[in-house]
Structure 1
Amino acid sequence: MGLAPSLEPPHREFAEAIGVILAAARRHGVAPGIHNARPETASRRIADGWLMVGCGSDVAYVTAGARAAREALRTR
């Protein structure tokens, strides 16, 4: 698409493209799926009608868990 990389693309072209994909999936009886970086975006996609919605990444979740454990140990 020639758009700058972004975890949450604010581009109009991106929004239009995923709208086309969602409509095509519905038209062909295919469960539409999309991955998102943030829970807020995932919630919006579910409200829009996406049925398979991913959120975050393994690395982000493992890192967050490790940071939480480190902080818990520091406070003891």
Structure 2
Amino acid sequence: MEANQLSEAERSNQRRIKNRQSTEFNNEINNPCSKEHKMANECSVKHFEDRDKCKAYFANYRSCMEFWASEVVLFKLE
């Protein structure tokens, strides 16, 4: 019985960590492209059968991520 409680505690801890990581990724401080990410996800949900309608959102999110990735590289080089 104690083993079940321990495994349940471990599972609870894993869920808490996963939720925190997901929240951190969607946080604008940790993800400067969170707005673009949210818009692309909303479009995907709205047009799940025709993803071509969301190409502009995906391209915008991709450009944002590429821009910030290059900024991080430049920051690390300085």
Q: Do the two structures share a fold, i.e. TM-score over 0.5?
A: no
Q: Which structure shows the bigger proportion of residues in helix conformation?
A: 2
TM-score by length of 1: 0.30
Q: Which structure shows the bigger proportion of residues in strand conformation?
A: 1
TM-score by length of 2: 0.29
Whose Rg is larger? 2
Which has the bigger relative contact order, CA under 8 A and spacing at least 6? 1
